[in-house]
Structure 1
Amino acid sequence: MERLKRILSRVLFPGLAIVILCVCLTAVLLVYVFAFQQEDSFIAYPSYLFSAYTLVIACIWIAGEAGSAKKNLELRIRKIAVLDRCLTDIAFRTHVSLYLSLGINVLYAAMKMVSGVCYHSVWFGTLSVYYLLLALMRFSLLRQAGRSAFGQDLISEFRKYRLCGCMLLLMNIALSGVVILVIRKNEGFAYVGYLIYVMALYAFYTIITAAVNVIRYRKYNSPVMSAAKVISLAAALVSMLSLETAMLAQFQRKENPELFRKVMTGATGSGVCLIVLGMALYMILHATRQLRKLDGSQSHTKVSKETEENK
């Protein structure tokens, strides 16, 4: 068994010199096979197998180097006190992300408001209202975070959590207005050149990260943390909707482009609105149930203390 492990280790981890040699030999073999039309010759299939093996050991080597680079980078980051605290202190990282998100939301809302006034666009004005509501929610969460540590004052945190759910309902009205405007007035985003691909990568990254964080941060038992991640998910959903309007405008179909655009935007917009509505209702109902439990437990504790004092 140990001998088999050593053989596999040598086969899969041959060292950098052999990896480079295999890559060069694979390139020569494949060029010979395809350039001289030798796909059916006796050397073709061994070349394919050897190229597959080369791909495997090259990927293993790259993954190992990437892991080493990640460890070195993490060690360097940990030497900087602020960055080290961001990596290790969840509460501090949540504070920082809330401050950054609040600043970005205010700036983005102001830009959309100015664009709406300059271009007489109700579309930009509605988006401005949406991002202002996001900023208000994040400001409310920051005020709560400044009063006590995350997870310490659950009653206050659940009240903020429920308030954010109520504000999400208002945001859903603004979001529904955005979808209706996109469909009726045929308005939307437009990006210059290849910028749309950059925005697509950013939108997919934010939606995946936000969805993962909503689930991950539930284990910290802090309603404020959970609310912050739900807000990020709501913002990411709007980014995806905005990306779709831009992509539909840039890559239009030749047949019935307006009809296709309206159907796709209406379907995606309705889905986003339903998701935001579901999150808002869950936050309101869940916070209300938890507050009733906490109020009941506090009342029971007070009665127990009064009974003991009377005795």
Structure 2
Amino acid sequence: MKILIVSSYIFGYMEYLKPALESKGITAEFVYHGKAPLDFKYKSKWHHLVAFIKKTVGFNTKMEFRDRALKSHLSHKSFDSILVIHPQYLANQTHVFLKSITNKYITFLFDSLAKMPRQMSVLHHFDTVFSYEKSDCEKHDFKFLTNFIPVSEKPTTLVKPRYDFFNISTRDERFPKLLNIAKYLKENSIKYEFLVHTKNSKEIEYVKTIKRKIESQEVNCEISQSLGMVDIQREDQTGLSFRVMESLGFEKKLLTTNKDVINYDFYNPNNILVVDLQNILIPEQFLKTPYQKLPPEIYNKYTTTAWVNTVFLEN
């Protein structure tokens, strides 16, 4: 079986699919936005300005570049399946071309339609639409599928933890919530490491700001040094983030603001605490009790192998 995955790089998370694909005998080609052949760069400030002006009248310079680059790169190729992540970043004519060189044209939505409504305008091109947002699946008849656990194999080496909770995120509308949790942890002498990616180098109390983007492999090193993780839900979606999946893969306690997590079969109140931001309270018992391993039949449902089976072999 031969497949193509066209995706944003997403800090390297898609790379975790490669071992699972290989184990199934699937030959996969990955094409990432921002990397060759889709490594678009403005030639000059003038080029950037012209592109901005063109965009106001409906001409998207980046999309046109991607269209030409993909057609040139794939003109003599064909695939059994093509998976597109972030389909809104490709023009309609690009979707038409990609669908013409495959038997199955598939997308997985990493964002809810409430967060990224412009996805909807290109979804009619696809044979199958997967989404981790339950409400979108119910309303539009998408196939429900969570994110996968971004771990190649379950960790076996024990690392002495440096802190109790870890989080890495971009500074956005979730930041005030993260700050509230950080303040609670500090006031209660609970060790934590919160890394916030921001263009502003100004120091912020309670968290550590970083300018560079950190890839998932490096994030995993930080996770391994913590007893638990923190997940802040976006207001415009309830689908489970990679933070939740990482907590399963690394067997870490999880603090989350996502109330819907209790409806999943892996939920265990010993391992996962839903935080009320209006009245933050982390019981001492939650901190002191060890992580309870998931039964294999539940854990395996969220692995990269299960995800690959669902998207490419069972679909």
**What TM-score do you get using the length of structure 1 for normalisation?**
0.21
> Could you say which structure has the greater relative contact order, defined with CA pairs below 8 angstroms and 6 or more residues apart?
1
More helix by share: 1
Tell which structure's C-alpha radius of gyration is larger.
1
